[in-house]
Structure 1
Amino acid sequence: MAISSEEDAKKALGIDTWRNLSKDKVIQLVAMMPEMEKEVQLKVIEQLPEITKFAVKAMTTVRRMHESTLSFNEKSQENVHRGYQEARAAIIAQLQRDDLSPEERRYLTDCLMQTADKESAKDSENKHYLDRWVNKAALSVGAAVILTALAAGGKVALQNSDGLRKP
């Protein structure tokens, strides 16, 4: 089905105005681009300020989610580090006893080193988690914006360049 007017495009999306373009509708709009006539694609491209507003809202939402995640993560990490500090303090207190055998001292020293290694591993795991989260959030917002722009602009550019080519 060819979409021959801007109103047909809005009707297919189930919206009255481009201001009603939701996250889900942007993806649907991208999928519809090949079905649109060239003139309709151009009119949709003219609506990019509305799509840009959507992208800004989406990025603002992702930023808020990221700030919330960072805040929660920071509190969680503080608890983890506090727990390891308390464990090390207890081991150090045991190591200060005079009645320990050399084997007990070695064991407690090994335990002390294990807590440091585990805390370091937990810190690295946390950094990887944050890195993955930021990448996924950035990709999802960026993909919506880029796909919309590419689908609209790229399709029109391809049609224009095909019309300019001579066999």
Structure 2
Amino acid sequence: MKYRDEAEIKKELGIESWRHLSKDKMIKFATMMPDMDTEVALKIVEQFPAFKDFAKDAVSAIERAHESTLSANNQSQEHVHRACQDVRDILRGELGKDNLSWDEKKFLIEQIQETARMQFQKDSESKHFLDGALKRVLVGATAALALGVAFVGGRAIVETMGDSGDSSGS
């Protein structure tokens, strides 16, 4: 284990106390959990009484950011497709003129093909971007879920330990 006590974890997070744990640092805390001693992680998570609210807020914030990103990407895609279509409409109009030389016709056809290549490239970039955005959302949601599992699991372990301690003492 890389982290054996709370002090090391607070130092890594750059905080003096758990009251200073922001949402961003909470996500970092979640990514650090696999490197923590289990007892230390459970002890820390138990100190967050409003953990459920935090986890819901974190997932909602991730969801809103993702929706905003998708919307902006969609608007950008639409703008590019509309612009390319406008250019092709103009090029088709020029191509329909009777007094064009073979070289002029060839140039116009090449320009039409170029707009199609531009759209294809933009579509590929968009798909790559969306793939990366989805991965970031999954990482954030997984971190929030990991915190939730640790919190719920930690409470269950603590409650079980408490129950077994009560029954053996009676």
What residue is the counterpart of 2:129 in the other structure?
129
Which position in structure 1 is the counterpart of 2:82?
82
CA distance in 1, matches of 2:70, 2:103: 43
Deviation by residue 1:102-150 (Cα, 9 ceiling, x = unmatched): 1211121111111112111111211211121121122123134326746
What are the superposed Cα offsets for residues 7-36 of structure 1, whole Å, 9 maximum, x if unpaired? Answer: xxxxx6432xxxx86421464475595284
Shift of 1:52: 3.8
Structure 1's 76 and 28: CA in aligned 2 closer, same or farther, altered over 3 A?
closer
Distance 2:44 2:103 in 1: 80
Identical-pair percentage:
33
How many residue pairs get aligned? The number is 143
Deviation >6 Å, runs of 4+: none
Aligned equivalent of 2:37: 34
TM norm structure 1: 0.65
Query: Once structures 1 and 2 are overlaid, which stretch shifts more, 133-142 or 91-100?
Result: 133-142
Q: Which consecutive unaligned segments of at least 5 residues does structure 2 have?
A: 7-15, 158-170
Unaligned runs of 5+ in 1: 4-11, 158-167
**For residues 115 and 27 of structure 2, what CA distance do their matches in structure 1 show?**
49
Q: Aligned Cα RMSD in Å? A: 3.7
TM-score for the superposition, normalised by structure 2: 0.64
Judging changes above 3 Å, is the alpha-carbon distance between structure 1 residues 105 and 26 closer, same or farther for their aligned structure 2 residues? closer
CA shift, 1:59, in A, is 1.2
Distance in 2 of aligned mates of 1:69 and 1:43: 33
Query: Helix, strand or coil for the counterpart of 1:97?
Result: coil
Q: How does 1:1-167 map to 2 (within 5 A)?
A: 13-15=17-19, 22-23=22-23, 24-25=25-26, 27-28=28-29, 33-34=36-37, 36=39, 41=42, 44=45, 50-146=50-146, 149=149
Q: Distance in 2 between matches of 1:153 and 1:53?
A: 17
- Could you say what secondary structure the match of 1:98 adopts? coil
Mapped contact 2:88–2:112 kept (Cα < 8 A): yes
Question: What is the CA–CA distance in structure 2 between the aligned matches of 1:94 and 1:66, rounded to whole Å?
Answer: 42
